[in-house]
Amino acid sequence: MNHLVVSEISHVLLVVALLTRIMRRLVGGPRGAWIGFALGAILTVLPAEYTPTFYTRGLFGEFSALSLIFLAHFLVKGLYDYQLIPRREGYYLAVTGLAAAALIYPASLGVNALPDSYELGYGSAGLVAAAGGLGAFFLWRGCPVAVIWIGLSLFLYGFRLHPSLNFWDSFIDLPSVLVCAGFLTHALWRRMRDGKALAVRGGVDSTGHVLIDENS
């Protein structure tokens, strides 16, 4: 039954993190964030049909380790205005999450041309070794959050703490993949915006010529 406890914790985390962020915006500052946190905590102990987790579980299903990392980030950001995931690590998480999604989603939805990697997740030592290799890479690159993500996925899978016995479900889920896509899209947009601003103020244009600001 431990897997149900982990499932419950992940949905409580979602509700609390969401309300913390919303109340921080509405009320303002850390006071609003803590009010949101307390409100979320109270709502999640209501009888089953009245708690928001009853609906979030119906909508999203079970969360993966990557979602837990993102939720922890949003909660800490809401409460303490602190970035748990540094921007550089955010890129690593987002690119890896999207690559994993590309590996499992098409075939599991019926694309015949691709091998069904999701099936491997039920018990492949090779897949675990690959995840281990990825963790070693992140360790080498000095990315503690990414290492925790890999470690948590392996932990949930190895100790059967996730409601699914498939490694991939411990690793990623659709909401976390959408966050990854959103992060990369936002980063791309920001880079383009900054590039334009640089071009107007003075900088390097698309042909490589140096532009001089009128005031410089």
**Could you list the residues that contact other proteins (CB under 8 A)?**
3-4, 8, 48-49, 53-55, 57-62, 104-105, 107-110, 112, 116, 118-119, 122-125, 127-129, 131-132, 135, 139, 142, 144-145, 147-148, 150-155, 157-160, 163-169, 172-174
CB of 87 to other proteins, least distance (A): 18
CB of 188 to other proteins, least distance (A): 25
CB of 9 to other proteins, least distance (A): 13
Cβ closer to other proteins: 34 or 105? 105
Cβ closer to other proteins: 33 or 147? 147
CB of 215 to other proteins, least distance (A): 45
Residue by residue, what is the 3-state secondary structure of 165-187?
A: CCHHHHHCCHHHHHHHHHHHHHH
CB of 85 to other proteins, least distance (A): 13
List the beta bridge partners of residue 48. none
- Read out DSSP for 102-171? HHHHHHHTT-TTS--HHHHTTS-HHHHHHHHHHHHHHHHHT-HHHHHHHHHHHHHHHTT-SSS--HHHHH
Cβ closer to other proteins: 60 or 91? 60
Residue the block writes with tokens 């995931």: 85
Cβ closer to other proteins: 35 or 84? 84
CB of 43 to other proteins, least distance (A): 15
What backbone phi and psi angles, to 5 degrees, belong to 156? -60, -40
Kindly give, in sequence order, each residue whose CB lies less than 8 Å from that of residue 37, ignoring residues fewer than 6 positions away: 16, 19, 20, 23, 75, 78, 79
Cβ closer to other proteins: 130 or 211? 130
Cβ closer to other proteins: 20 or 164? 164
CA angle at 9 for the pair 186 and 80, rounded to the nearest 5°: 50
123 touches 137 (CB < 8 A): no
